[in-house]
């Protein structure tokens, strides 16, 4: 049984840094483990232009600890009135790595998202022509659709059509949560990939709803039933280059999660690699971890792999019950439990 694992330094292909004081305190957690991260644009106001993204990137870089090397990869928040010229220019200048499609009101700070996916087909056509990656939050938002069915419904109603209409557009189906999504991604061409979060590999919906409501296990898309979790574990550890690491780390203050209307999001950044590696270990797939964490994402995004390495060792790590951020408490994923792998550096 291997006791240490050294792999090329991984990247996080989906996370939320927020802004201001919270951002300054959460960026170091990610910069400690990862070389790059795709930064989600759902700020208030959202990051809708290249100028806003360039300024946000500078604020993130200023939060990277001394001596750290970390590259934020910025995304453009798509709206009904996205300026395709600005997006294309931003991508050509290296400001934007991707654009993010949030169906309006699907999740945190998505009110300015796209009200009707078809409205932005001209922008998607431009993205296809310019080879800009489209990241998708794949859930419909109709009130009559059960929250557990919203991802599947999005595939049937929108995603299939997007992929058929723009066959060269590179699409990342973000934070997939269902076997339906796994099947869709596997059946699609190589231009379609998916990120998988640690929480969707570790927990099913019971973790959110059994024994009292567990707000710290609530995120969007919500965790589904066990059969879906098992399908995600199989996909992540399969070695398929279509699946790669994206934590969807989404810090919210403890008090905002433990409220009558608790926020969606799990703060997975602090022990992200230990969390994922535990899954690969349980699945007997340690040899496939580097692909998922460090190789498949860069290949999909057409970026070079990282040259330096990180090492993890088999050792117990106690995850604190809370972390102090801006003098407030944030509950990390796995809070108060012990993980079996330690990040050495």
Q: Select which of 12, 86, 248, 281 is catalytic.
A: 248
The residues, ordered by sequence, that sit 6+ positions from 47 with a Cβ below 8 Å of its Cβ are 41, 53, 56, 74, 75, 76, 77
Number of chain residues interacting with Zn ion (CB under 5 A): 2
Query: CB 220 → Zn ion: shortest distance, Å?
Result: 8
The candidate with the shortest Cα–Cα distance to 328, out of 17, 18, 21, 40, is 21
Binders of ligand DOR in range 167-206 (CB under 6 A): none
Span of 118-126, 199-207, 244-252, 312-320 interacting with Zn ion by CB under 5 A: 244-252
CA dihedral 284, 287, 289, 294 (to 10 degrees): -170
Please give the DSSP secondary-structure letter assigned to residue 291: I
Quick check: 75 binds ligand DOR (CB under 6 A)? no
User: Between residues 42 and 195, which has the closer beta carbon with respect to ligand DOR?
Assistant: 42
* DSSP secondary structure, 142-168, as one string: -TTS-GGGHHHHHIIIIIHHHHHH-TT
Distance in Å, CB of 207 to Zn ion, minimum: 19
Contact residue for ligand DOR among 220, 277, 312, 331 (CB under 6 A): 220
- Local structure of 77: helix, strand or coil: strand
Looking at 19-27, 116-124, 240-248, 311-319, which segment touches Zn ion (CB under 5 A)?
Answer: 240-248
Within 13 Å, how many C-alpha atoms sit on residue 148's CB side? 10
Exposed (0-12), middle (13-18) or buried (19+): which is 185, by Cβ within 10 Å? buried
Q: Taking CB under 6 A as the rule, does residue 265 contact ligand DOR?
A: yes
Which x/- pattern, by CB under 5 A, does the window 258-287 give for Zn ion?
A: ------------------------------
248 makes contact with Zn ion (CB under 5 A): yes
Give strand ranges (E) for the chain. 4-8, 12-15, 36-39, 71-77, 96-101, 133-136, 171-173, 192-196, 243-245, 309-318, 323-325, 328-330, 338-343
Residue 75 touches which of ligand DOR, Zn ion, none (CB < 5 to 8 A by kind)?
none
Radius of gyration over every alpha carbon of the chain, rounded to an integer in angstroms: 19
Please report the sign of the dihedral spanned by the C-alpha atoms of residue 100, residue 103, residue 105, residue 108. negative
Residue 290: contacted member of Zn ion, ligand DOR, none (CB under 5 to 8 Å, by partner type):
none
Q: Considering only residues 107, 178, 217, 294, which one is a binding residue for ligand DOR as defined by CB under 6 A?
A: 107
| Of the residues 36, 137, 170, 224, which one makes contact with ligand DOR according to CB under 6 A | 137
Using CB under 6 A as the binding rule, the residues of this chain from 282 to 341 that contact ligand DOR are: none
Residue 87 interacts with ligand DOR (CB under 6 A): yes or no: no
Q: Does 151 contact Zn ion by CB under 5 A?
A: no
Based on the shown chain and the rule CB under 6 A, indicate whether residue 42 belongs to the binding site for ligand DOR. yes
Picked from ligand DOR, Zn ion, none, the partner binding residue 64 (CB below 5 to 8 A depending on kind) is none
3-state DSSP call for residue 60? helix
Of 82 and 199, which has the nearer Cβ to ligand DOR? 199
Active site includes 149?
no
Query: Per rule CB under 6 A, is residue 247 in the interface with ligand DOR?
Result: no
Partner whose footprint covers residue 108, from Zn ion, ligand DOR, none (CB < 5 to 8 Å by kind):
ligand DOR
Q: 323 — alpha (psi -120 to 50), left (phi > 0) or beta?
A: beta
Q: How far is the CB of 195 from Zn ion (least distance, A)?
A: 9
User: Exposure of 30 by Cβ count < 10 A (0-12 exposed, 13-18 middle, 19+ buried)?
Assistant: buried
250 sits near ligand DOR (criterion: CB under 6 A): yes
Q: Contact 135/100 with Cβ under 8 angstroms?
A: yes
CA 7 – CA 10 distance, rounded (Å): 8
- Positions in the binding site for ligand DOR (CB under 6 A): 16, 42, 107-108, 137, 219-220, 250, 264-265
Task: Give me the active site residues, please.
Answer: 248
């Amino acid at each position: 049984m291997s006791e240490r694992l050294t792999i090329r330094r991984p990247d996080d292909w989906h996370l939320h840094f927020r802004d201001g004081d919270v951002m300054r305190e959460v960026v170091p957690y990610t910069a400690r483990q990862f070389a790059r991260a795709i930064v989600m644009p759902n700020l208030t106001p959202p990051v809708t232009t290249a100028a806003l993204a360039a300024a946000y990137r500078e604020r993130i870089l200023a939060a990277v600890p001394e001596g750290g090397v970390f590259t934020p990869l910025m995304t453009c928040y798509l709206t009904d009135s996205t300026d395709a010229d600005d997006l294309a220019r931003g991508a050509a200048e290296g400001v934007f790595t991707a654009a993010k499609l949030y169906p309006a009101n699907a999740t945190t700070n998505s009110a300015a998202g796209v009200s009707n996916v078809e409205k932005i087909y001209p922008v998607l056509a431009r993205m296809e022509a310019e080879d800009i990656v489209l990241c998708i939050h794949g859930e419909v938002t109709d009130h009559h659709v059960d929250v557990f069915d919203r991802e599947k419904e999005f595939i049937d109603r929108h995603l299939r059509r997007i992929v058929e209409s723009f066959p060269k557009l590179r699409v990342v189906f973000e934070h997939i949560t269902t076997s339906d999504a796994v099947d869709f991604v596997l059946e699609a061409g190589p231009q379609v990939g998916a990120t998988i979060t640690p929480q969707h590999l570790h927990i099913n919906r019971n973790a959110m709803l059994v024994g009292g409501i567990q707000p710290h296990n609530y995120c969007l898309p919500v965790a589904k039933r066990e059969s879906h979790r098992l399908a995600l574990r199989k996909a992540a550890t399969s070695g398929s280059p279509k699946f790669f690491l994206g934590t969807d780390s989404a810090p919210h203050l403890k008090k905002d999660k433990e409220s009558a209307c608790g926020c969606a999001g799990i703060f997975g950044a602090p022990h992200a690699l230990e969390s994922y590696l535990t899954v690969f270990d349980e699945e007997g797939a340690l040899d496939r971890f580097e692909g998922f964490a460090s190789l498949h994402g860069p290949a999909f995004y057409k970026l070079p792999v990282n040259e330096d390495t990180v090492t993890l060792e088999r050792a117990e790590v106690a995850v604190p019950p809370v972390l102090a951020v801006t003098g407030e408490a944030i509950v990390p994923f796995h809070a108060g439990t012990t993980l079996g792998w330690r990040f050495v550096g």
